[in-house]
Structure 1
Amino acid sequence: MSTPWTTADIPDQAGRTVVVTGANSGLGLATSRALAAAGARVVMAVRDTERGGAAARSITGDVEVRRLDLADLASVREFAAGWEGGLDVLVNNAGIMMVPQGRTADGFELQFGTNHLGHFALTNLLLPHVTDRVVTVSSGLHRGGRIVLDDLNWENRPYSDTGAYGASKLANLLFTLELQRRLTAAGSTVRSTAAHPGYAATNLQSHTGSRLKDLGMKLGNRFIAQSDTDGALPTLFAATADLPGGSYAGPSGFQEGRGAPTLVGRSQSASDVDLAKALWTASEQLTGIS
Structure 2
Amino acid sequence: MSTSTPLPTFTAETTSEQVCESLSPQISNKTILITGVSPNGLGLTTALALSTHSPRLLILAGRSPTALSTSLDTIKSQAPSCPVRTLQLDLSSFAKVREAAAEVREWEEVKQHGIDVLINNAGIMSVPWGKTADGIETQFAVNHLGPWLFTNLVMEAVKKARGRVVFLASLGHVYGGVRWEDVNFEDGKAYDPDTAYGQSKTANILTAIALSQSPSLNAAGVSAFSVHPGLVLTNLSSHIPMQVFKDKGFVDDEGKLLVPSKTHSQGAATTLVAAFDPRIVERNGAYLSDCSVEHEGPWVEHAKGKENAEKLWALSEELVGEKFEI
Matching residue of 1:126: 154
Q: Give 1:184 shift.
A: 5.6
Distance 1:184 1:227, change over 3 A: same
Alignment of 1:200-215 (within 5 A): 200-208=232-240, 210=241, 212-213=243-244
Question: What's the offset of the Cα at 1:246?
Answer: 0.9
Q: Which has the higher strand share?
A: 1
**2:205 is matched by which residue type in structure 1?**
L
- Bigger Rg, which one: 2
| Secondary structure at 1:150 match in 2 | coil
Match of 1:38 in 2: 53
Sort the Cα spacing of 1:27 and 1:77 in 2 relative to 1 into closer, same or farther, 3 A.
Answer: same
Deviates more, 1:279-288 or 1:2-11: 2-11
Identity value in percent: 35
Runs of at least 5 residues in structure 1 that lack an aligned partner in the other structure: 252-260
CA offsets per residue over residues 78-114 of structure 1, 9 Å max, x none? 1110123211110001000000011122111000110
Query: Which of 143, 147, 155 in structure 1 is aligned with 2:174?
Result: 143
Which of 173, 179, 183 is the aligned partner of 2:211?
179
Are 1:21 and 1:93, in contact at CA under 8 Å, matched by a contact in 2? yes
The residue number in structure 1 matching 2:92 is 71
Instruction: State the superposition RMSD in angstroms.
Output: 2.1
**Inter-partner Cα distance in structure 2 for 1:271 and 1:43:** 31
1:53 aligns with 2:69: yes
Question: Cα deviation per residue 1:160-193 (whole Å; 9 max; x = unaligned)?
Answer: 0000001100110011101111146762210011
Give the TM-score normalised by the residue count of structure 1.
0.89
Alignment partner, residue 273 of structure 2: 237
Partner of 1:191: 223
Matches of 1:177 and 1:97 in 2, distance apart? 22
Q: Which residue identity is paired with 1:70?
A: L
Paired residue secondary structure (2:45): helix
Residue 11 of structure 2 is aligned to residue 11 of structure 1? no
Structure 2 residue corresponding to 1:247, chosen from 283, 286, 293:
286
| Letter in structure 2 aligned against 1:11 | S
CA–CA separation in structure 2 for the residues paired with 1:183 and 1:117: 22
Aligned AA for 2:288? A
Aligned length: 279
**CA separation in 1, counterparts of 2:286 and 2:218?**
19
Structure 2 portions without partners, runs of 5+? 1-7
Q: After alignment, is 109-118 or 55-64 more displaced?
A: 55-64
For 1:93, the equivalent position in structure 2 comes to: 121
| TM-score w.r.t. length of structure 2 | 0.80
Verify the 8 A CA contact 1:197 1:250 in the aligned structure 2. yes
Whole-angstrom distance in 1 between the partners of 2:174 and 2:259? 24
Kept in 2: contact 1:197–1:234 (CA 8 A) = yes
State the shift of 1:21 in Å: 0.5
Q: Is the 8 A contact 1:206 1:214 kept in 2?
A: no
